[in-house]
Structure 1
Amino acid sequence: MHGFSTRAIHAGQEPDPTTGAVIVPIHATSTFAQDGVGGTRGGYEYSRSANPTRTALQECLAALEGGRHALAFGSGMGASDVLLRTLLRPGDHVVLPHDAYGGTFRLVDKVLVPWGVEYTPVDLADVAALRAAMRPETSVVWCETPTNPLLGIADITAVAEIAHGGGARLVVDNTFASPYLQQPLALGADVVLHSTTKYVGGHSDVVGGALVTGDAELAERLTFAQNATGSVPGPFDAWLTLRGVKTLAVRMERHCDNAERIAELLARHPAVEQVLYPGLPEHPGHEVAAKQMRRFGGMVSFMVRGGREAALRVCAGTQLFILAESLGGVESLIEHPGAMTHMSVAGSALEVPDALVRLSVGIEDVEDLVEDLRTALDAVAD
């Protein structure tokens, strides 16, 4: 098998056979001419069902995750919805991370629970707690590692063993790590989920999602559900995502370099109570992360001394770190999860601390980022 960057640039992306174009064309068409009734050309008839630009992206993502089948979606939540509605039925039970992404929690709690699904939030780093949470009706264990926003680490191999032992499928949201840093299918996951909006696309210019699996029967069911619900990306969105993924490896190396420097600054600063970054030796998941990840990622969270008001002042005090939701782009972002991305978990068992700040560390010159964040923290410490 070729190396990661070679696959990112070439998998599913052969030069166009008609023109020789080295970049996959944007097939901006809703429908395709048929050679007689039901006689499709290459399997294409209508772009909701399949589009060549989307096919190229899917083949690339499957190659990067070590899967045989990939499906691209219009958003990460669209991918999550199709997956959960395919795997679950009323009366089924789901295990969620105790600090799951707010959008995932909202989907399960507000959409699937009224449909008859039950769920239990668990710290997936606690193997005993996971075993205790499993029920006969547990159909899905949903894992984020690192988690959003507390950067918790779960041992994917151990979680897979428990999930499969209970007859459940393991889904790993690999958005924070990206395929470059972590390969959940090789560690026992049944399905890998991505918000391709984030590191895979990498430039904050497109919204998308993806599912990757090695299970042909499940892939067929997911493809049917996706076509039935219409949760697909347009060809331009697929093309932008494919363009972004070509540089994923080099971007992730820079994201990781910069995040390590930022974590070092935060660990020393008097305005910071706690740093949540798996690359730090004192992080409780450091050893597991070192075992199953290539590096530790570009996301850093921290607790600010002084609580909510101090955290909000830090968020308002940066210039290069832009106050915005989302993550994984080339630019650095800062946010207050409790008031932004994770507002939907307020008042629930998944509520995040008020003093928490989350950083998506970009690929700018790291000295500029360090100075920008130090200035904001100094203002709070004074």
Structure 2
Amino acid sequence: MVDLGATPPCELFLTAEQVDEPETTYPLHLRVCTGCWLAQIPPLITPEDTFTEYAYFSSYSTSWVEHARRFVDGAAGRLGLDENSFVVEVASNDGYLLRHVVDRGVRCLGIEPSKNVGQAARDKGVPTVTAFLGPETAAEVRAEHGPADLVVANNVYAHIPDVIGFTQGLRALVADDGWVSIEVQHLLTLMELNQYDTIYHEHFQYYTVASAQRALASGGLALVDVELLPTHGGSIRLWARPQEVAGEPTSRVVEVLAAEKAAGLHELSGYAEFAARVAKVRRDLLKFLVEAAEQGKTVVGYGAPGKGNTLLNHCGIRPDLLRYTVDRNPYKHGRFTPGTRVPIAAPERIAEDRPDYVLVLPWNLREELTAQLSYVGEWGGRLVFPIPNLEIVEVNP
């Protein structure tokens, strides 16, 4: 589908000492299987390489914590969760979602592979075990804690090389009459809105509802319902149940499958033009940055997300074009972006330096960050959004 060259792992931010050391890069080539229409990259980096020590903490995004709260409220109402229920979240990160379950007095458990992130969850009072999910781990959790009425797997289904084993693990966790809820980015919107920076080595798969339906079936789960969400630029929330109790899927499943088919994603032709649109995003962003540099304008970044590192590496953007970027996560302060070695500072530096432009790398948080960065307008600074198409925005303080 598209060749993005070779990049280092997107979350391996460099310390000052590592800047003078070599980095290993891996090909970033997205392909689609004409048998099941699952888009995927080869698993060149194992989850153990990436997630044992992890730099991403979900709670640093206010809007993401609020999204999680709304999900918990909705799921509690939909499924009748109460003090007798049990909820398990896989890849529970720093407890950003399960803390709302704890607040409701519902018994819960997080399964989080990253030691440092899982400890942050435990520090907040969210029960968490450090493990990767597979059939064996799931069986151990079920034996100790019992079957789960709800298993949540948000933004992790694309991170697993062994899709079948992971799905079998979900089935082993959930009660025979329980529910599984999965959120994952929708390949349809990724392609329509040129969101190619979400392609990186942590994401092994890129799902349509059609390919997700097949993946779930491989582990004994059946898709029952789907919701279209605005998160991550466009996601799908998949509601699944054990095949024995699932019944027929809702009309929403039928509608989204029809939309994917109309877009050509159930045949090879629908994937043909994506690479050309990606190339245009790159050209437009580089043209802006080069012209800004020639005019003596200062451009800095906001955010240091994994997706930003795909964009920076694919475009070859280094400190001569992007002086530095900032991030709310203190873990990243004083480090450098992988591959491109752009320095990462605390957010306060933007107000100190008063740059002409701020390139927003986590464009999926546009509404939240436009409000946070409104002060840039005090000195006439402007925000730049690179995706889906280059947009330069004036903001009012």
* More strand per residue: 2
Q: TM-score range by the shorter chain?
A: 0.3 to 0.5
Q: TM-score, normalized by length of structure 2?
A: 0.36
Q: TM-score, normalized by length of structure 1?
A: 0.37
